Structure 1
Amino acid sequence: MKVRANGIDIEVEDSGAGRPVVLLVMGLGMQLVAWPEAFVQALVDAGYRVVRFDNRDIGLSQHFDAAGVPNVLLESMKHRIGLPVRAPYGLHDMAGDAFGVLDALGIESAHVVGVSMGGMIAQRMALAAPQRVLSLTSIMSSSGARFLPGPKPQVWRALMAKPEGTGEDAIVNHYVKVFKVIGSPGFPLDEPQLRDRIRLGVRRSYHPVGTLRQMVAIASDTRRAAELHRVTAPTLVVHGKDDPLVPFLCGQDTARRIPNAQLVGVHGMGHDLPPGVVQSILTPLVPHLRRNSGP
């Protein structure tokens, strides 16, 4: 369903009738359908109401094509050397979208769970309105500190490559290659299942330029690392020890900066959500939610 959130149209999926609410925030270029159904159902079975949404510029939420196509390489270089990055919107705005979703659904507060870029948005939410964040869970994400290690060269090349054609099969093949590069070595991919999930997303919406604008939004958020000491929400940081896109040091740095954060490192986990990784996340996540849900 569509809701009006933070002045724009956001696509939302609302599952379960339990309480409190778990708000799931997805990562770069990914749609709400990228959350594995087994993950969502496990949270519903644990008694939670689970809210997912498409971030701005992706999926069925409002696109920002009037903002043009950013020069990602240039803006990334500027970020690396400490120059201001030009972005049509920032992670502050995307955190505002998430709060707008809660407002539209009449939800005062929620557990906020984000993966990758979604973890960065979740961190921004915990900083912006601590009274509305029951707990924070940052998965395969980063503080955004400038000198943290980045993707391995082959990962960067895979991310910046383009499909070899414009048809659906070419696009699916491209993303299969990407996920093979960033995936979890300890949790082998079921390729037919992966293809089906990617095809579902491509048919629902294919908007790669929105991903580029989101990348620039990440690069422009240069002050978050220095602010994370102000986070008061009980925080769980889960990170793959074999993540080739956002290395494990990024998770360690996030947990170090947030007071009393719990860090869980997962051997064999990369930057995806296959069934084994889902279970490895749920094992610490559900107790974390229960500890911080109140009576």
Structure 2
Amino acid sequence: LHRMQGTHQPFFCCMSVVDPHSPYTNYPKEYADYLDIDALPEPFAVDESFDHRPIAHRREHNGRSFPSTDTLRESRIGYHAAITLIDEQIGRVLQTLNDTNFADNTIVIFASDHGDMLGDHGLTVKGAYMYDACTRVPMIIRAPDTSGGQIIDAPCQLHDIAATALAIAGCEQTDLMPDACDLLDTNALQQRGHAVCMHRNSSTTRGGYHNPELHITMWRENRYKLSIYHAPQPGPDDCPGELFDMETDPDEMNNLWFDADMSDTRDQLIHKLTTFLVQQDAQGRARGSEALPP
């Protein structure tokens, strides 16, 4: 930023940081001193039964030793300490934007790829599941001529970042992002009304954790979240999916997939999701693999 000062040359800078990331032990210990450790939230549903959970959850849970209560608490402390560390580094960037007089003409976007379960629902790290702890992550945008303090509750996706930056810069959105929205256009965002998340994991070796493959697709609207687990060879006790009412059950404790009263809602969401997947597959632009699972 100091080198760019006075050049009047547009610039793009991506600051990619690893933290917070498991195992949450490699952080300067003084950052834990900023925390009110007693106020840190405890994980919930740690002892939740896996008997009727999707096979991906059971493989994740059974494939490793679940940490002890003390180890899990240390991880949660390390996680929040790492967040404090990153907050400080972002603060340095924002201060430098002010010092170099770029602040009033620079778009700043903070985002992340995924969260961490940290013990919630008896699970750790990221994985083959679509709970909010993994899929709902912070996104903050500061842009010129945009009033601060706005909170947007509509579902959004990471590819909306590009559409938003293009819109702020006065550029047209390209046909490469037909489903992307300008996040500052709340009308368009509410009209779209959904977000999609795909998990496509496979292995090149036999007998490993990702063999057979784990494929999961989530459709999220303001109220409902639908997740479908595409097991190559589902067993008789496998749960094929999850349906949560995020208004009445924000902690995702009551799976409505098999609820007869919710069958119409479930089928409507499945139809929306499959329609979306077929359209994505037809465009041939899926990252890493086909949009449609095997």
Where is the helix percentage greater, Structure 1 or Structure 2?
Answer: 1
Common fold: TM-score over 0.5: no
More strand by share: 1
- Tell me which interval the TM-score lies in, with the shorter structure as reference length: under 0.3
Which is bigger in relative contact order (C-alpha 8 A, separation at least 6)? 1
Larger Cα-atom Rg: 2
